[in-house]
Structure 1
Amino acid sequence: MLSLASLQLFAATVDAGSFAAAARRLRLSPSAVSRRVAQLERALGVPLLARTTRALSLTDDGRAFHDRCQRILEELREAEDAIARSAARPSGLLRVDAPVALGRTVIAPTLPRLLERHPDLRIALTLRNTFVDPVAEGIDVTVRMGRLSDSTLIARRLGERRILACAAPAYLRRRGRPRAPRDLARHACLGYLHQGRPDPFRFVTGEGTFDVEVDGPFHSDDAEALRDAAIAGKGIVALFDFVVAGALASGALVQVLESHPLEARPMHALYAPNRHLLPKVRVFLDHLSEVLEGKRPRAGRRPAAG
């Protein structure tokens, strides 16, 4: 069977005009070049070169074979160029998984801009609040918020977002405004469900953090459902700023306990090792950093979200 190397050597020999010149170009000995051309002729069963003491010339079969070699090698170079251009250009299907509220409110509205910049890119976005195995499900990038647990995944920090305590004006008129975290004990609080239990409200002080357990008429693992319950006057809620931004702007919710900040939560993009080498993944990670934080943090190996 003919090899690509034998075709390249034969074409170089013909172009050079002699075994010695081809040897210098290929950094081989003249005898090695002559021997490999002879092996190619035996494999084909016909002489390709007419040898004289001063020069080489193509036989009729050699000329026909050389023409085909030239076409094959040119097509190979064109294919390599096409692959190189494709590798440098974001293209193909990018599978992304993100939390529901973050995906709906922040990520999805910005994707048309990303797709306009990269017309060869396609995106499949799934939204869910449970962590998935991106390798098993064929997901390129998983976006998660909160602390990370041990994993072999790579994590790129995308910044952090504030959590705001909010309530409807009607609720505050009815129940009063809390002045300190301890006042929440006498208020209805709407908690985010994690493993079947509402997460406490975690406040930050100069000495660290402390938790306030919450109790109220409604808890959910859907941030938008909690926001809507708060707008309906069912209690005080603590949610990411992007979830309540619209309601705060319209006056449907107002912030409470402003002088007692809640702990901010980090955001990470998680992906399998080497996935960041793909142009489609790189441009999406940079896009997320631009959207969420306005800067491009360096990637680093961290544990993955649980």
Structure 2
Amino acid sequence: MAFDSRLLGGIGVLSAVIEAGSFARAGEAMGLTQPAVSRAVARLEERVGIRIFNRTARAISLTDEGRRFYEAVAPHLAGIEEAAVDAAQSRARVRGKLRVNVDGTFGHYALAPRLAEFLERFPDLSVEISVRDRMGDLVADGFDVAVRFGIPEPSSYRARLLLETRVLTCASKAYVARYGEPRHPNDIATGHQCVLMRDPKTSRAFEWEFHRGNEIIPLAVAGRLMVNDTGSLLGACLGGTGIAQLLELYAKELIADGKVILLLPEWVDETFPLYAYYHGSNFVSAKVRVFLDFVREIAA
């Protein structure tokens, strides 16, 4: 198919619709009427030969073909924008809105406290943080980048390892005073209450393991409380409900301040990875690039 220069304008409208979430809001952002936006999308669908959106009276959503199409072209739009900025010799190279899908643990305890520093570096950039249990579809949901704990699943996104934080077993002073301190991982299974963390992928509790060098002990632990977020896990641990497995990323300060006790300090070799995900392309926008660098900096 010969290149149709009008495609670029249609793709620009498509990008605005995805970012705004509706034809009406995209029209407001672009200074167009809703029918004009709808016609532009319809022309784009006709030119590329696919249906890009599922439309109902109340909402729109990307079709599978539309998602794949936008995933392929979105990074190139960012590259065109950056090239235009460079050509104008503008100093505002990092600008616009950065939408981030973030794991709650990292968002609450590492990213949010440092965002003021990031925004100060880039005064022409605004950031929207969305804390979610799962990454979902970055393209359909309009996200530029995601930061999630866990092993990457197969996908079309690019994944960058940011850190591997240790898994620490902790309890409050009150809990240890009442129930004693375990001397071996097996002691936890036989005489202790644990605070369990729900795995959003399975809706069951995360399994516990204890690592010491090459030695690994999987452990079936018991507990009357299961939570689905780090704040509740920390609160229950600090309140003496039971033993909890915490990530060193945020637990190290609690241990240093004496708010929790590190149990079994010789069994702390298990690690949990933190990855950043972004659209798979050789073109990475300036705002995503500086954000990835910043996250690696604060996660170090």
Q: How many aligned positions are there? A: 215
Match of 2:272 in 1: 265
Cα pair 1:201 1:211 within 8 Å, conserved = yes
Q: CA deviation at 1:86?
A: 5.1
> Structure 2: how far apart are the matches of 1:283 and 1:253?
35
Cα pair 1:155 1:269 within 8 Å, conserved = yes
> Structure 2: how far apart are the matches of 1:81 and 1:124?
23
Match of 2:285 in 1: 278
Cα pair 2:158 2:278 within 8 Å, conserved = yes
Match of 1:289 in 2: 296
Q: 2:197 aligns with which of 189, 192, 199?
A: 192
Closer, same or farther: CA 84–180 of 1 in aligned 2, 3 Å: farther
- Larger of the two Rg values belongs to structure: 1
Q: CA deviation at 1:249?
A: 3.1
Match of 2:124 in 1: 120
Unaligned ranges ≥5, structure 1: 1-78, 294-306
Give the alignment of 1:41-120 within 5 angstroms: 84-85=88-89, 89-120=93-124
Q: CA deviation at 1:275?
A: 7.8
Match of 1:231 in 2: 238
> Structure 1: how far apart are the matches of 2:249 and 2:213?
26
Q: 2:141 aligns with which of 134, 137, 141?
A: 137
Aligned-residue Cα RMSD (Å) equals 2.1
Q: Percent identity?
A: 35
Q: Deviations over 1:14-53 (max 9, x none)?
A: xxxxxxxxxxxxxxxxxxxxxxxxxxxxxxxxxxxxxxxx
Match of 2:249 in 1: 242
> Structure 2: how far apart are the matches of 1:246 and 1:168?
14
Match of 2:68 in 1: none
* Aligned-partner SS, 2:97: strand
Match of 2:172 in 1: 168
Closer, same or farther: CA 136–86 of 1 in aligned 2, 3 Å: farther
Cα pair 1:193 1:199 within 8 Å, conserved = yes
* Aligned-partner SS, 1:273: coil
Match of 1:6 in 2: none
> Structure 1: how far apart are the matches of 2:95 and 2:291?
11
* Aligned-partner SS, 2:290: helix
> Structure 1: how far apart are the matches of 2:85 and 2:107?
37
> Structure 2: how far apart are the matches of 1:262 and 1:189?
20
Q: Deviations over 1:98-128 (max 9, x none)?
A: 1112101100111111111111111001112
Q: Deviations over 1:159-195 (max 9, x none)?
A: 1111111001111111110011111112101111112
* Aligned-partner SS, 2:280: coil
Cα pair 1:198 1:214 within 8 Å, conserved = no
Closer, same or farther: CA 275–156 of 1 in aligned 2, 3 Å: same
> Structure 1: how far apart are the matches of 2:209 and 2:135?
22
Cα pair 2:167 2:248 within 8 Å, conserved = yes
Cα pair 2:92 2:124 within 8 Å, conserved = no
